Structure 1
């Protein structure tokens, strides 16, 4: 899916200055296997609102949403699995803690001067609240975990629509609402998540073309 690959490239470019190499390699390995649904959704929403938009102009917004999700998702995994508890060598776990912090902070930096900044702050705060409530004995842990995916998809919708300063159509907004309300943790592959929705315009299920397509 073109939008997913664009989001992956943008995320990697946003982290090109990370040092040392071992940390950079760990982050790159996370991005290599991650679902690019959040970043791809930014591009899809913008393209549905304005088919003439250049996706390259949205690269930082897509990367910002994607990196916030990756960082919070990794934080959630670390909190649940506590990998340092059963191993004397805590190097890998400590590296992941650092990677998660970098992903979230860099993602927010990319969105800080956009109209999606406030929603990004609320997404991060909501994640913290949900993970705190998750420790309660009667908590619905699966639902609390999935709130992250729903919140990130909503953030992607805001980031995409605000980039072109246009409202999305009712069918697209309906698709966004359904995706967010039904989100599960973790997010699946972008193409699978969006297949059959109003976000993909063609009858063959392909994503809308970019402004740079021949």
Structure 2
């Protein structure tokens, strides 16, 4: 049974998809295999990571003055929900227990605190000390399925406008266009994720 589960996880991590999805970083794929991640989790992390790649590229093209650490954002997007290995019920129902436990799980597997933090911060964007990298991971975790969160988007708009001296409304209009473009493929991403089971 473990071999079947492993094969299904492998498919979630590597299958061609519509839209075409990037693969997770090799380090993350190995980690997901080592913790016997549910295939649905692998698929979810893959779609969020892919959207984070788009967001990072967009910020670097349109707001070069924003200090973004692309490697951190992409690792964070690829691992943000890893705590759902411990709390698989949160793959199909609301819950936040996976956040702190995901952080601990990453630390136990040799991930430094500066990267493991995204497991904790991806749903806590209004807390003090949350940086633009954290906000981008949070945004990717919402917009992949077409969900718009005004409070989160406003925090990002403030960072963008402050970085290049534009008016917040201008930054919002540019961000809104990009989020609308990304959200257009939400149904296809949801269909890809739904192809994989929530249990190992």
Give the shorter-chain TM-score range: 0.3 to 0.5
TM-score normalized with structure 1 length: 0.31
Bigger radius of gyration among the two: 1
